[in-house]
Structure 1
């Protein structure tokens, strides 16, 4: 509103430039309706503020204390949200062994991360030897991890 006034752009002029009614602009300015992001960017362009852009941003809500003030020492977002999945690293000797209850017969000592979410139980295996090396095309060399 303040920028429109300073640039002498009336609701009628803005409505004409945007191909809308003056009433529609009035609803936005009185906060009875909220424009779409695309419309907000068109308005910025039309009132000479095209160097700005309205964008949808997802951000973390502040954690408030008992007094209603934001807590400054809350955990970082990265500590709350980890986009990786953790899988155990298995040994070739026990990779296929399963107990009667369906659980793995080994207790994993090491875990590795992946951004891939397996559709079921999964584990890492360390490639041993040159069995997965191809004369041409894709090869998987010794000591690389494969997710099974």
Structure 2
């Protein structure tokens, strides 16, 4: 299909659509599943050839087509997917519907998470895991270490399991939480137990002791999902 030359860039078109819908970078990131730093790099032109999967997600959130974001249009904003797009990516659209991606971080980064002004630092999104969970906050994945959350019966979260942590999810009695104990640089993963006004961090493994918390602990987030990957990861 012949197109009239469009002098605007992908970032220009994305910025115009965001302005039309009154969306900032963070809100578009939440709605699309594309991380905020990635959106920022597209807007500033640092990312001159964005990944097609990211353009698909952004286009869907903005009610346009990925071809419009990529090439522009001689007329109005294209509201529907073009036939060429459909032939190439119809299956990808179905598979990625309502999918959100969050970065994998380490336990030291998790301990610093709530203190970060913008926790999604550039490059962090290079290692991400997708899910259909739409987080309330800046969610992230952690890989479980050790056997303190491995239980011989009932719920068990063994070493190597990936947990999705949402900092804005309310921590209730029985929630699985990521917390940072006073004096520690790293976060820890335990079950929150509230008994008679006293709070504890309880391992699922009965071989580990309860940890009383009383002003000596900062809750970072609640684990809302877990999944196991059979692919080896590099650390």
> What TM-score range do you get, normalising by the shorter chain?
0.3 to 0.5
TM-score, length-scaled by structure 1? 0.45
TM-score, length-scaled by structure 2? 0.30
Which one has a larger percent strand, Structure 1 or Structure 2?
Answer: 2
Which one has a larger percent helix, Structure 1 or Structure 2?
Answer: 2
